[in-house]
Each structure stands twice: as C-alpha cells, then as structure tokens.
C-alpha cells in the first residue's frame, strides 16, 4: 500500500513537472474506432506511455502534452559505427510545440487508432474543440502533423526542433532543418509549416504561429545509408540535403486531406487483410485502465485482440521498404546509448520480430529482413569473411550486428540456418518461384556450404557441429541441440528447394547423404526431457529465458504431436522444467511452443502473462522496452488459431476455454492459402480457405473426415480421407473452399496446466 502511494505521488510529480501544471476536467468518451489505444491524460514518459507512429523507415513517438507537445522521431538507418566499429542506433531529434497559456482543458483524449494508423489528441477549451492529428505516411515518405480547431484563428504555438547530436538548427521562412555527420553517415531532417490563416515569424530558434485556422506540419528525414554499396553510403551530404528538401516540398504541395486519405488507403491495404474477433465488445474505459483491470484478474478478450493487432500495426510501422530488419525497439528509440545498442540481435530477437510476417498476412514486410539477409550474405563481404575466418566457406555471423555488416559478441554460427528458415518460409507461404530461385536458394545453399565444411563426425558416426553454444548459457560443446536442430532444418529445406527448382541434383544427393548422417538434435534425457546438451543432462531447476533447445518445436517443425508423441512429450517435460515466467520475448516464445503442443489453455495463460509484461502504451517489457515481445505474442496468438508448418492446415489447434466463440479472417498458411475460421462451441464451426496457387489442401482437425467441403460455386468436393482427423483435396487457383460441419472443441490437452502462470503472477503481485 505504502509502495503504491509512493508510486502515485511520483507519477503525479513527474506529470506536473513535465506538463507545466496543467489541469484536466471532464471525461472524454471512447474514440469511434474500436481498435484504438486511448488515454485521458498526456504521456508522462517516452518508453511507457508515448504512442508510436511509423512507416517502416521513419517513425515518431507522440506525447500529447497540453501546454507543450513533444514529438520525438527516428530513422531506422541512423547509426553511429561502421564496418569495423559496433556503434549504436541513434535518436534523431525532438520537436516541441509550445502552446502559450493553455493550462486547463476539458475532455482530453489521446489515442492511437490502429484502424487508420493515425494518432490524435483532442480537448476542449471554452466550447471549442482542438484536434491534433499525427501519421507517418509510407506513400509520401513523411511524418504529417495537423493542428486545427472547430473555430477560426485559434491555433497559436511556437515550434522548434532539436538535433540529438547537437547540430544547430537552421531556420528559414517556415522551415527548420537539422543536419550533421556521424561515424560514416550524414543525416538531415526538415520540418515545414503550412498555415491556413494567421501569421508566422521566426523568433530565435523557433517559428511562431499566431491565430491560424489550422496548420499542417511536414517532417522529412533521412540519412545517406545504402545497404548494397561497398561503402554502405549512397548519396553525398549535398544530395541528401536536396532529397530531404524535395521530399518535404512534394508532400507540402499536397492538401492535408489528400495526404491523409492516401496514407489511410495505403495502410489499410495491409492492416485490413486480417481481423480477429473474440466475441469482445468495445471498451468504454481507457486502455491503461483496461490493462490494469485485465492484469488484476478481470479478463477481457478485447485486450487479446488489441494486442494481436497492435503487433501487426507495429510491424507496418517498423518493417517496410528499407532492406533493414526492425531492430530491438523496432525503430523507436529516444537514446543515443540504447540498451544493446538497439541492434540486430541474431540469437532470437530479430527472428522473433518477423514471426508474425507470413502468418498474419504481412508477407511483403518480411522482405525487410530477407533482403537484408541476401545483401549481407551475397552482396556485402563481411559475413562471408567471417565464415572464411573460421576456415569454412559460405557465410555466418556473431550475435550483435550493426547495419554495416559488423558483427561481434559470441559466435552464433547456426544463425545462418535460422535466418535461412525465414527465406524458406517466405517461399513456402507464397510459392514465389522467382524469390526462391534468385534470393532464397543461393543464400540457403551458401549456408549449407558452411556446414558441409564445418561438421565433424562424432564417435557414433553422426555429423555434429563442433564447439557450439546454446544461447545464452552453458559451456561450448559439440552437437548441442540448438545447432543440430537448426542445421537439420536448413538441410531439409534446401533439399526441398533444390527439388522444387529442379536444380543441383548432385549437390542435393550429397546433402541428402549428409542429412541422413546428421544428428537431428532431438535427444531425450534421464527425466524424459528434450535435452539442451548432447553429453550432459540438463539441470531441471534451470529457468533460462532462451528456448534454444526447442528450435525443432518452434519456430522449426521436426517436433510435433502429429509426427511423434514421444518427442512432443519430451519437449513438454523440458518446457515445464523451464517454467513460465521470463522476459516478454521469452513468454511470447512459450505461447507458440505450447500452441505447437496443442495446449490452448497453457498458451492462453501465457498470453495473459504477456499482457502483464507491457507498459501503459502496450510496448513489451524486456525490461526495458524491447519490441520482440510484441511481435512474438502476435505470432503466438496466431499459432493458437492456425498452424501449417507441417504443410497441412491445423485449424484451431490451441483455442483455449476462454475463447469459446470467435472468428478470424485473412490468416495465411503454407501453400499460399488464406484462411478464415469461425468457431462456436457446441454449434456450427466453419473454415473458409482461399487457394492462391491451386496447391493441394490438407486439413487436420479432430474428426474432420465428418465435415463437408464445397468450392466457390457451392459444389461439394469429394475429399481424400487420410485418417478421421486428416483430409486433403485438390484446389484450383483463386477458388474459395468452405468446410462446414466441423465439430469444434476447445483444445485442452491432457494434463493442461490451466492458467498456472497467471495464478502464480497474481499470487506474487498480492504478496
């Protein structure tokens, strides 16, 4: 209790200081959009309460202050460091808008609408409604801000922009620019103001706007980074200046409503592909209150849906366009010395950032990671040089990576196989032959070359990776599960790729022979547990956050109850040993792992736990903020609804008792299928499957052989019954198949631990 009072006072003091003692009256209603994060107070802290916008390359955090608005912004390419120095991801700059004399406002609301990717601040003064809107446009490549009111001549403020590397802003007319140089890169940002009515003037380092009807503010920003030139530099500083200026001018020449509608149309093309409905209702209380209630045991399935869609929103905000993966914080970062340099971390974090990409129908966004892998493995020299330095061919890397190919801290040689899983999955979901031929296969083959030269034969005649490490604990040993399971996945997928492309027959024969000799990394220990190390039993009290020995369960595919119950049971024993608690990304990983073990209730208890590991703005908690937990949870929720890693559609594989009815549309499955599911305990349950490429469709569900399949014309399809639980049928491209009469049951695995972790958490919180 005392602790709570102290915390309350601290927040109050921070709030008053940060916002220059502002008074809020009234209570704003919920916004019109259902999928929105919203609050009745301004943000008090960048990490925990400001709201993110982004277009995949640039982004900003909006605070929504009343007498002072603060917009902090980033560009994904703004890094110190070089090809030989790690450096760090950087904060770009801060924009401040000072609103003179505004201290008391009514019905304040700050929101982030996930349905149109617009953040809004609104409040009333003397019956006049003031509205600020913020979005980051992909098509126009700028951040757009608009201040307006229901009256005329009401908008007055001072605008300033600060460079986080101490460059002095330059002001001219209605523009403020900052520009400078880091270790390698040059950067520049320009903010332009366009007022309707009123006047503007330059006052020192500020532009003052007086009595405007409305003002549109455009921010363009960039660096001269180029991922494929030998220097990692593209244009020079002078050309960058021209480009950033031109981008701003182009956007500023458009009307606000044009910029806004173009942004919404573009964003919704992606966002609207997938919807999730858990029979939830639109909340009437702000997101912070809803989250607090949820975390104290008042469950609300809306927050599950919001968190699922927030992951998709954050992907669209941080992983589009530029061939660079989202980093540890996506692209949002307010520090020049961020935790782990906000780098590209190869031993779980960057991979997890892309787990939702294919399955939640954002496949194009996967290119920001896959193109980076291709560039670094095939175009740039550093990863190949690293393989050479170990005496092998192909390519590999260490754990911490900057954007200039520099890699350090602990070898992570099997990361090449893990990265290749992403290339293969993009193919498996899209069946894009060009991608497989020109991008994925050459990179996969080169990673195989690395292992073909590196593997050694152990005393049992098995091929093992020597001197490997299980991130991030234990000693180095030969043949640890992490490396073996990943190499097994790489070889299996590369063989399949060469068969699909009908290429490299003799190379494939050799790879098949090596695969037959490869230790697959699935070893069962003395307690029936899936082992982490080949020669030593695991410590059952070890609670390490990394699930490095579970690669074959998730994100891989070699362990499944559908393949071998003994191995699946071993994974379960080891998962129980490992425990449920952990950082948000570790929790997220466990959601998918339990989903793969078909235990919906355990998976859902971890979804609930994941929600406790969030800040008020629903950023996931490392701590501090690390975005992988957001993406991993979105992926985990999807795995509860649909899995296709075995090339069969496992529909509703891990639906918990807490979701007795619901519907989801637009999930993707391997084989280029788009899937909608509508479930209802004890009543009708249907699946709708759109075939994008005319592949054979295999469906797995309990007693699915009793279901009915119809094509888009309503004709009944005669399917092949593989078993009572598995059917398949041929499809034609662009046809939609409806499966009805599915006898739905929630997925409660035998011995499921119902809400175990959640109860534990509550007990701890109460104590």
Q: By CB under 6 A, name the binding residues for ligand FUC.
A: 328, 340, 345, 347, 349, 472, 545-546, 583, 622, 626
In the complex, what is the shortest distance from the CB of residue 373 to ligand FUC, in angstroms, rounded to a whole number?
19
In this structure, the strands spanning 23-25 and 104-113 are parallel
Please report how close the Cβ of residue 341 comes to ligand FUC at its closest, in angstroms: 9
Complex with ligand FUC: residue 328 or 641, whichever CB lies closer: 328
Kindly report the number of other CB atoms within 10 A of residue 670's CB atom.
22
Whole-number Cα distances in Å, 136 to 53, 202, 209, 267, 291:
6, 26, 23, 10, 26
Smallest distance from ligand FUC to CB 641, Å: 27
Whose CA is closest to 352, among 337, 335, 369, 332?
369
Q: How far is the CB of 418 from ligand FUC (least distance, A)?
A: 13
325 vs 653, beta carbon nearer ligand FUC = 325
124 beta partners: 106, 129
Residue 411 φ/ψ, nearest 5 degrees: -55, 140
* Total residues belonging to the chain: 767
Q: Choose among 640, 644, 635, 638: nearest CA to 697.
A: 644
Task: Tell me the two tokens of residue 667.
Answer: 């999930």
Q: What one-character DSSP code corresponds to residue 615?
A: -
Cβ proximity to ligand FUC, 39 vs 585, nearer residue: 585
Least distance from ligand FUC to the Cβ atom of residue 626, Å: 6
Query: Which element (helix H / strand E) includes 490?
Result: helix 481-500
Query: Nearer to ligand FUC by C-beta: 583 or 740?
Result: 583
Q: Which residue is nearest to ligand FUC (CB)?
A: 340
d(CA 375, CA 378): 5
Minimum distance from residue 343 beta carbon to ligand FUC (Å): 8
Tokens 């954007």 belong to 403
- Residue with smaller CB distance to ligand FUC, 375 or 399: 399
Task: Specify whether the CB–CB gap between 438 and 416 falls below 8 A.
Answer: no
Alpha-carbon gap, residue 443 to 351, rounded angstroms: 16
Nearest to 587 by CA among 630, 558, 555: 630
Specify the residue, 353 or 520, whose C-beta has the smaller distance to ligand FUC: 353
Looking at the Cβ atoms of 407 and 691, the one nearer to ligand FUC is 407
Hey, is 215 helix, strand or coil? strand
Q: Supply the minimum distance, in Å, between the C-beta of residue 347 and ligand FUC.
A: 6
* Residue 305 tokens, joined: 């849906």
DSSP codes joined into one string, 178-190: EEEE-SS-EEEEE
Nearer to ligand FUC, 584 or 601 (CB): 584
Spatial distance between the Cα atoms of 386 and 371, rounded to a whole number of angstroms: 19
Question: Which of 107/583 has CB closer to ligand FUC?
Answer: 583
Q: Which is nearer to ligand FUC, 371 or 628 (CB)?
A: 628
What minimum distance in Å lies between the beta carbon of 586 and ligand FUC? 8
Cα–Cα distances in Å, from 665 out to 266, 678, 682, 686? 20, 8, 21, 11
Provide the 10 A C-beta neighbour count for residue 259. Answer: 21
List residues bridging with 162 in a β-sheet: 94
Could you give the CA distance from residue 699 to residue 728 in angstroms, rounded to a whole number?
A: 6
Minimum Å distance from CB 315 to ligand FUC?
A: 19
- The residue (of 508 and 546) whose beta carbon lies closer to ligand FUC is 546
- Beta strands per DSSP E along 269-402: 275-277, 344-345, 398-401
Distance in Å, CB of 585 to ligand FUC, minimum: 6
The least CB distance from residue 16 to ligand FUC, in Å, is 34
Tokens of 418: 């893990």
- Give the nearer residue to ligand FUC in terms of CB position, either 113 or 351: 351
Q: How far apart are CA 66 and CA 140, in angstroms?
A: 28
Side-chain half-sphere CA neighbours of 553 within 13 A: 30
Nearer to ligand FUC, 327 or 678 (CB): 327
Q: At what angle do helices 628-641 and 301-318 cross, to 10 degrees?
A: 120
Q: What is the helix (H) or strand (E) element at residue 477, kind and residue range?
A: strand 473-477
**Nearer Cβ to ligand FUC (473/759):** 473
Minimum gap (Å) between residue 676 Cβ and ligand FUC: 35
Cβ neighbors of 134 (< 8 A, separation 6 or more) are: 53, 60, 62, 71, 118, 119, 120, 143, 144, 145, 146
Q: Burial level of 244, CB count in 10 A (0-12/13-18/19+)?
A: buried
Q: How far is the CB of 548 from ligand FUC (least distance, A)?
A: 10
- What minimum distance in Å lies between the beta carbon of 292 and ligand FUC? 26
Q: Which is nearer to ligand FUC, 104 or 583 (CB)?
A: 583
Nearest to 623 by CA among 583, 586, 590, 587: 583
Report the nearest approach of ligand FUC to the CB of residue 624 (Å). Answer: 10
């Amino acid at each position: 209790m005392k602790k709570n009072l102290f915390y309350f006072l601290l927040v109050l003091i921070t709030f008053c200081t940060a916002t220059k003692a502002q008074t809020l009256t009234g209570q704003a209603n919920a916004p019109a959009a259902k999928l929105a994060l919203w609050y009745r107070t301004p943000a008090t802290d960048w990490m925990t309460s400001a709201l993110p916008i982004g277009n995949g390359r640039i982004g900003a955090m909006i605070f929504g202050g009343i007498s002072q608005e603060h917009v902090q912004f980033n560009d994904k390419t703004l890094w110190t460091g070089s090809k030989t120095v790690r450096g760090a991801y950087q904060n770009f700059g801060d924009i401040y808008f000072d609103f003179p004399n505004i201290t008391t406002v009514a019905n304040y609301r700050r929101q982030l609408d996930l349905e149109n990717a617009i953040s809004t601040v609104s409040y009333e003064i003397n019956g006049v409604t003031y509205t600020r809107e913020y979005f980051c446009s992909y098509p126009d490549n700028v951040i757009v801000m608009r201040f307006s009111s229901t009256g005329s001549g009401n908008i007055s403020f001072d605008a300033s922009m600060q460079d986080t590397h101490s460059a002095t802003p330059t002001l001219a007319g209605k523009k403020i620019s900052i520009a400078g140089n880091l270790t390698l890169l040059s950067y520049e940002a320009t903010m332009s103001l366009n007022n309707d009515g009123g006047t503007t003037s330059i006052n020192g380092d500020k532009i003052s706007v007086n009595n405007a009807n409305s003002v549109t503010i455009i921010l363009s920003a960039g660096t001269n980074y180029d991922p494929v030139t030998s220097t990692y530099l593209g244009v020079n500083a002078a050309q960058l200046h021209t480009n950033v200026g031109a981008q701003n001018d182009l956007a500023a020449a458009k009307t606000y409503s044009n910029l806004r509608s173009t942004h919404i149309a573009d964003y919704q093309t992606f966002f609207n592909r997938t919807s999730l409905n858990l029979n939830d209702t639109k909340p009437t209380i702000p997101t912070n209150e809803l989250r607090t209630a949820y975390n104290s045991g008042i469950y609300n399935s809306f927050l599950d849906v919001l968190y699922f869609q927030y992951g998709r929103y954050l992907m669209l905000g941080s992983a589009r366009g530029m061939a660079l993966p989202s980093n540890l914080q996506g692209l949002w970062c307010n520090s020049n010395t961020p935790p782990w340099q906000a780098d590209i971390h190869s031993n779980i974090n960057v991979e997890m950032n892309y787990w939702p990409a294919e399955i939640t129908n954002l496949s194009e966004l996967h290119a920001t990671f896959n193109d980076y892998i291709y560039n670094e493995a095939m175009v740039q020299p550093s990863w190949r040089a690293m393989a050479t330095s170990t005496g092998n061919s192909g390519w590999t890397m260490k754990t911490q990576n900057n954007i200039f190919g520099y890699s350090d801290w602990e070898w992570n040689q099997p990361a090449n196989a893990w990265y290749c899983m992403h290339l293969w999955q993009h193919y498996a979901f899209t069946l894009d032959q060009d991608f497989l031929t020109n991008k994925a296969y050459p990179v996969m083959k080169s990673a195989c070359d690395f292992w073909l030269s590196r593997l050694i034969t152990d005393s049992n005649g098995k091929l093992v990776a020597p001197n490997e490490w299980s991130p991030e604990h234990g000693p180095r040993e030969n043949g640890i599960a992490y490396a073996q399971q990943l190499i097994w996945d790489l070889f299996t997928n590369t063989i399949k790729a060469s068969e699909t492309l009908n290429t490299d027959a003799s190379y494939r024969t050799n790879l098949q022979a090596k695969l037959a000799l490869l230790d697959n990394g699935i070893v069962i220990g003395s307690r029936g547990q899936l082992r982490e190390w080949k020669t030593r039993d695991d410590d059952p009290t070890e609670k390490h956050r990394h699930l490095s020995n579970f690669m074959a369960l998730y994100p891989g595919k070699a362990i499944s109850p559908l393949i071998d119950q003994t191995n699946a049971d071993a994974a379960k024993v080891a998962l129980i040993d490992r425990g449920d608690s952990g950082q948000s990304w570790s929790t997220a990983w466990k959601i998918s792992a339990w989903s793969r073990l078909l235990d919906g209730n355990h998976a859902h208890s971890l979804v609930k736990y994941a929600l406790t590991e969030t800040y008020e703005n629903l950023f996931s908690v490392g701590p501090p903020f690390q975005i992988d937990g957001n993406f991993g949870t979105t992926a985990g929720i999807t795995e509860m609804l649909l899995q296709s890693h075995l090339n069969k559609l496992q529909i509703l594989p891990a639906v918990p008792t807490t979701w007795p009815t619901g519907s989801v549309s637009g999930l993707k499955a391997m084989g280029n299928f788009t899937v909608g599911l509508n479930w209802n305990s004890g009543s009708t349950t249907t699946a709708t499957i759109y075939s994008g490429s005319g592949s054979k469709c295999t469906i797995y569900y309990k007693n699915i052989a009793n279901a009915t399949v119809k094509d888009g014309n309503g004709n009944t399809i005669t399917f092949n019954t593989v078993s009572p639980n598995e059917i398949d049928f041929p499809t034609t491209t662009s046809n939609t198949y409806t499966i009805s009469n599915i006898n739905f049951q929630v997925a409660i695995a035998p011995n499921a631990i119902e809400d175990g972790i959640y109860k534990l958490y509550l007990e701890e919180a109460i104590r």
